[in-house]
Amino acid sequence: MKQALRHSWKPAALIVLLMAVWEAAVRLFDMPAWLLPAPSAVWTELLNDWPSYSGHIGSTITLALGGFLIGSAVGLLAATVLHLVPGFREALYPLMILTQNIPVIVLAPLLVIWFGFGATPKLMIIALVCFFPIAVSVLDGFRQTDDDLMHYMKMAGASRGQIFRKLEWPHALPSVFSGLKIAATYSVMGAVITEWLGAKKGIGVYMTLASSSFRTTNVFVAIFLVMALSLLFFGLIRLIEDRTVIWKTKGRRERNG
């Protein structure tokens, strides 16, 4: 904990400094609040407007979490199949990269046409956003399996299944987690974007209502909420990682300390 504090004071100081500059600039140039509110105004609004946005947070969390879980599961499964079935990787990997060149925001209206305004197209969009970072980082993790360990496993007579379960999978775990961390932050963003397309509740809805009535301070409140949620997701996964990938985290701490 002490160490965490020692490492985090620099970025924290920078954030405080940026906020101070922002605050000073707004006051100095006498900015109207609808154009750029001061951080202090955003903070006050964040505290006071709780009753009106609290109802939105839950539905964004549910949506993001659902999409994240579906996307991660499909991503993991896809990476495993591409890795284990001979020839699949070569055939499908370029296609996978290609699909990522289609911006999800372009797909969104299509999915709405096909699946309506319910939860289905929203979950699909978030899952699509989360799928890619996981699939790619897990595939890379599999491919970067240590040659010496692989050689030992083969010489010891391990079968394909044993090599996957006992070597490749645990070896790829750190990559799994880095994919999950990226996907987690994407999932919150994805959820907000899908809420813009039409929803009854959610931070995205709160944000649209605020911006269409030029309540810019509330738009910033929404931005803050999105950031806070992303950080929360990220932190949770980091916590699970620290408990799961013990050999890496231990090594890391010993080297640092």
Partner 1 sequence: MAELAVHDLHKKLGQTDVLGGLSFRVGDGEFVSILGPSGSGKSTLFQLIGGLLEPDGGEIRLGEQPIRGRRGMISYMPQRPSLLPWRTVLDNVRLGAEIAGAPDPPDAIDMLDKAGLGGYADAYPHQLSGGMQQRTAFIRSLLSPQDFICLDEPFSALDEFTRAEMQQWLLSLWEENPRSILFVTHNIEEAIYLSDRILILTDKPAQLLSEYHVPFRRPRTPDLILSEEFLDIRRQIARQLTAPHR
| Distance of alpha carbon 212 from alpha carbon 219, whole angstroms | 10
Instruction: Quote the tokens at residue 103.
Output: 């911006």
| Candidate list 27, 143, 250, 253; residue touching partner 1; CB under 8 A | 250
Among the residue ranges 181-189, 199-207, 225-233, 245-253, the one whose residues contact partner 1 (CB under 8 A): 245-253
Minimum Å gap between C-beta 178 and partner 1 is 16
| Distance of alpha carbon 176 from alpha carbon 193, whole angstroms | 25
Size of the site for partner 1 (CB under 8 A): 23
Dihedral sign (CA 246, 247, 248, 251)? positive
Tell which phi-psi region holds residue 182, choosing left (phi > 0), alpha (psi between -120 and 50) or beta: alpha
For the window 115-154, what string marks contact with partner 1 as x by the rule CB under 8 A? -------------------------------x-xx-xxxx
In a 13 Å sphere around the CA of 38, the CA atoms on its Cβ side amount to 15
CA-based max dimension of the chain: 75
Nearer to partner 1, 127 or 176 (CB): 176
Task: For residue 55, give the H/E element and its range.
Answer: helix 50-84
Residue 247 interacts with partner 1 (CB under 8 A)?
yes
Residues 147-186 that bind partner 1 (CB under 8 A): 148-149, 151-158, 162, 166-167, 170, 173
Q: Rule CB under 8 A: which residues touch partner 1?
A: 146, 148-149, 151-158, 162, 166-167, 170, 173, 245-248, 250-251, 254
